[in-house]
Structure formats: structure tokens, C-alpha cells
Amino acid sequence: MSSWRRYAIYYTATGALAEFGASWLGWDIASGREQPYPRIPDMPADRIAEITSSPHRYGFHATLKPPFALASDSSESSLRNNLAALAKGQPAVAIPGGLRLSVLDGFPALTCADHAPLTALASRLVSESDHHRAPLGEADRARRNPDRLTSRQRENLDRWGYPWVMDEFRFHMTLGNRLPAPDAERVLAALRPRLIPLLPDPHVIESVTLAGEDMQGRFHMIERFSLTG
């Protein structure tokens, strides 16, 4: 029996960007440990904790295949083997223009311009590992408020277990809760001088990460798979 409640396939950064992201969110997905918040003028640690309370437990990441319960006829080892095979046949993806600080639907985040190879990577991970996903329960489906979704998003929800996949996918690395516009802009202003020097152009997605959700709802890196196709 798995020790994880759910699994997900993420992009997780490496190096200085990963270190800052872990500090900013207060949780290091790679080590599975709480992290001290950074020292930022006019933004004390308790304020950072308040505005990052939602993404804290997920760690610094971009979702490629959203969290899912493991199917009864699957196993963690078979999921890992599947991802290893996918990664061997998948080349790295360079994002022209790199990542940028922006506000996405009220959330401060790192985003990028639409890039077909990146969407194709996420779509491939969603579809070619979907046999490991347990069917979406009625309560989980209702939690997505299907009546408020577009017809395409409802199709994705029913087919893939999540509305914002395939052509609805938008790459983003969440940096805070949904905030009023002035607060979100203040967060970006505080982050800009610290993050911009850490963002290469192009930004290259060289690996994908299998993550697991523990019984307290925090996500941990299980294994990183290099894209070597």
C-alpha cells in the first residue's frame, strides 16, 4: 500500500531558483523540510507565511499532470517505470523568453508565453500516464464547480480528471495566494529584484518530477527524471 495520498507530475526548478522558491514558500519539496522565510524589507516572515499559505504545502513547482489518486490496479513502481520510459523518449524543452513574473487570475506567479512544445510535453504526460490515475469521484468532480467551466474544460475534467489540461494548460509556478490586485503587485515588486537575476533566457525544462502528497497534505519529491530523448 502506498504511503502517499496522491501523486503528481511536476516541473521543479534546480539551483538558486529552487532554493529561493523553497525559502519563499517555506517548504522544500526536494528535501521535504520546512524552510526559513527570506529576509525582505517591509515584508516580515509572518506576512510572507500569510500570503503563501495556499501554495506552501505544494512546494515551488509547475504542475504538468495534476494530483491524482493511484488506480487500484497500479503501483508506485509501475508509475515510476512509466515516467522513466517517457522521459527517455522526450527531449528537453527550451522556453524562448524564459519565465516572467506576472499575476495569473489573481495569483502572483512565474509564467511564460504560450509555447507549443511545452504544452505538448504536459499533454503527453497527462495522457500517457493516465492509466495510473484512479477515476475521479463525484465529490472531487463537484469541487471543480463543473457548471462554471467551459464545455472544453468539462470535457477535460471528465476525461482527464482536471479542467486545465491539454489545450487549457497554462504553465505557471505559483508564488502566493489569490490576492487583491494591489497586494499582488506589491508581492511582485518585492520579488522582482530577487528573482529576475535567477531567470535564464531561454529557460530549459530538462527534467520532470514525480511528487507524492503525504498524510498532512504536503508534497515531496519522489524522483526526478531527466528528459533525454
Cβ–Cβ < 8 Å for 77, 186: no
**DSSP letters for 109-164:** EEE----HHHHHHHHHHHHHTGGGBPPPPHHHHHHT-GGGS-HHHHHHHHHHS-SS
Pick from 193, 186, 183, 205: nearest CA to 94: 205
Counted residue by residue, the chain has a size of: 229
Domains (range + CATH), the chain: 6-226 (3.90.1140.10)
219, 6 in Cβ contact below 8 A?
A: no
Q: How much is the pTM?
A: 0.96
Give the pLDDT confidence score for residue 3 in this predicted structure. 87
Rounded distance between C-alpha atoms, residue 63 and residue 130, angstroms: 15
Per-residue pLDDT of the chain (229 residues; tens, 9 = 90+): 578 999 999 999 999 999 999 999 999 999 999 999 999 998 999 999 999 999 999 999 999 999 999 999 999 999 999 999 999 999 999 999 999 999 999 999 999 999 999 999 999 999 999 999 999 988 889 999 999 999 999 999 999 999 999 999 999 999 999 999 999 999 999 999 999 999 999 999 999 999 999 999 999 999 999 999 9
The predicted structure's pLDDT at residue 85: 98
The residue written with cell numbers 519529491 in the block is 221
Q: Are 67 and 6 in contact (CB under 8 A)?
A: yes
C-alpha cell at 182: 494591489
